[in-house]
Structure 1
Amino acid sequence: MTDLNNSAAHEQDAVIFARESFLGELKTLNRDYPNTGFGISLRTHSGQHYLLANARMPLPASKSDGFPTGRRVACLENGDRFSSIEVLADSEGYETITPRAEAEILGNALNLIARIDTLTGIPAQGADHAPRITATGTGG
C-alpha cells in the first residue's frame, strides 16, 4: 500500500511541477498565436486527468471529458510520469493559421512535451533511485 501512496504522491508532484513550469509556455503560445486556444492534457498512469489551458481554449464541463474542441497538435504516450501528454489547439482559430505557423506550433508543442516528460520524469531522490521506463511517442 505504501508503494501505491508513493506512486500517487509522485504523480501529484509531477502535475504540480508541470502546472507551475509550463503555464509560461502557454502564455508564449498565446502571445505568438493570439487567436488560438491551446490546451495541455496530462493523464497519469493511475488514470487521473489534468488540463492546462490558455484563456482561448474552451474548457469541458468535466475534466474527464477532455477539451470540447481543438485538434491534437502533438502527443506522447507512456512517459515516465504520464501515460499521455497531449497539446491541443482550438480548431476554430487553428484553421486560419498558415502552414508555416502550423509547423512552428508543432515544433513548439513537441518541445513542450519533451520538456514536460523529461523534467517530470526525474525522481526527486535522483536518477539512480528509480527505474527508468522508455517512453514512446505517437508520431515521427
Structure 2
Amino acid sequence: MISYLKTKELTQQQLFELYEDVGWTAYTKDIEQLQQAVQHSLSVITAWKKNELVGLIRVIGDGLTIIYIQDILVKKEVQNQGIGFELMQQILLEYQTVRQKVLLTEEAPAIRHFYEKCGFTSADKGDTVAFVNLS
C-alpha cells in the first residue's frame, strides 16, 4: 500500500536513493544542494511504501498565479501503478486556482501520454511557445 505525505523533511539518503533509482544523477552530484532545493520548494508531496520513499513531486513558483512542476519521479519498481498520477492529482488539486501550471520534460511517447492524461497540453499543440536557456 502506498501512502502520501506532504513534507519537505527528507534525508539526503532518501533523496539520493530516489533520484539515483530513476537516473537523475545530475541532482545527486550535489545531494546537499538537492536537499536544500526540496526544502525551499513551494510544495512537496511524497509517496511511501512502508518507510521507503518511492515517489515525489515538487513545485516552485508563487502559488497564486504560476506554479512550475520541477520534479515528479517514482522509483522504477513501483512505476505504472498510478503513483505518479496520484502525486500529480494532489498537486493540481492543491493549486487548482492557479492559472499557469508549467513543466518541462524530455520527449518520449510514454511521457507525453502521461502528461496529457494529467490534463496538460504540449506547447507545440497549443497557443503557447516554450523557450529555454540551458547556459
Give the TM-score normalised by structure 2. Answer: 0.31
Higher helix share: 1
Which protein is bigger by CA-based radius of gyration?
A: 1
The structure with higher relative contact order (CA 8 Å, sep 6+) is: 1
